[in-house]
Amino acid sequence: MTELATIDTEASAPSAASGSAKMQYLRAFAGLFLRDLYVLRREIFPFVIRVCMNPMLFLFVFTFIMPHMSGGAAMNPTSAAMGQNFSTVLLPGLMAVAIMFSGIAAVALPLAQEFGITREIDDRVMCPLPVAAVAIEKILFSAMQSIIAAAVVFPLAYYIPSTPVVAHVDNWAYLIAILILASVTSGALGLTIGTTVEPKQIGLIFGVVVMPITFLGCVYYPWTALGQIRWLQIGVLVNPIVYMSEGLRSALTPTLPHMHPALILGMLVFFLILLTWLGVRGFLRRVIG
């Protein structure tokens, strides 16, 4: 009987140690997240300016100034094609841009500094966490910022345009799923960029990569509107921003043309897995290798 009790005690010891390690990892992960949250709170004003400036300028120029000008429709062919729905079309697209820009800026730009000459990343990876978990924390923290960015854009799109924005949500669970998937995917994209590009070249990426995928990401027009340019309509399917824009369009403005929701969800999951794998692998290579 004593031998059985000894065996039971020895068998339960690894389980208790494993549970203790998990709790330690969880506390360390939460500590990193709270640390980043504290830094963000101290820099909340630059964050809000960064989030608001680009969507506000687009809305002000294309949906307020041009409609008040004579010949405004001719100056803005997209608005002429969409008619009174252009402000409505623009809402989900600008939310997608805010999510994408915020996700990339929250990960890629800090990594350029942390992987620089001072190697500030070494201080972060000294916490009692697997190195891969440090990369995951960056993705999740950027996702939180992206969701905030999308929430900030929403009232701007309602009050700035001269034509009313018609948006309604039929399925809140679907909208929440799109917001979460889009936000985490943008963070994973930022991690991939930040671990692939050299720190001194990170500014070049915004002109060479970020701007093209934005303008070809169905932000200012529905994907179905590219039907007349079939090769381009197929080519943009490799762009993750397309599925963010179309996903938000199908969730917020379901009466407008959009992709099938199952395709949107499936492709967002695919890009999330792919970009997370690439980003974490690059992070491990830059930190350990």
- Structure-token match 């943009």, residue found: 236
Overall size of the chain counted in residues: 289
* pTM (predicted TM-score): 0.82
Most confident of 72-76, 166-170, 200-204, 258-262: 258-262
Arithmetic mean of pLDDT over the chain: 79
What per-residue confidence (pLDDT) applies to 11? 45
What per-residue confidence (pLDDT) applies to 16? 56
Residue 15's pLDDT band (cuts 50, 70, 90): low
Which of 58 and 247 is assigned the larger pLDDT?
247
Amino acid at 27: R
Percentage of the chain surpassing pLDDT 70?
A: 83
Mean pLDDT on 162-183: 86
Least confident of 101-105, 158-162, 270-274: 158-162
Q: Is the pLDDT of residue 213 over 90?
A: no
Burial code of 20-44, b = ≥16 C-beta within 10 A, e = fewer?
A: eeeeeeeebbeebeeebeeebeeee
Check: CB of residue 78 under 8 Å from CB of residue 220: yes
Percentage of the chain surpassing pLDDT 90?
A: 22
Report pLDDT digits (tens) over 108-156: 888 877 776 667 777 777 777 788 888 898 999 999 888 888 888 877 7
Mean pLDDT on 1-10: 45
DSSP state of 207: I
218 φ/ψ sector (left φ>0, alpha ψ -120 to 50, else beta): left
Report the candidate in 254, 246, 28, 237 with the shortest Cα–Cα distance to residue 126: 28
Mean pLDDT on 163-168: 74
Residue 239's pLDDT band (cuts 50, 70, 90): very high
What per-residue confidence (pLDDT) applies to 68? 64
Check: CB of residue 265 under 8 Å from CB of residue 121: no
Residue 69's pLDDT band (cuts 50, 70, 90): low
Residue 228's pLDDT band (cuts 50, 70, 90): confident
With a CB cutoff of 8 Å and minimum separation 6, the contacts of 112 are: 194, 197, 199, 202
What ranges do the domains of the chain cover?
21-288
Report pLDDT digits (tens) over 72-83: 444 454 544 454
Check: CB of residue 56 under 8 Å from CB of residue 152: no
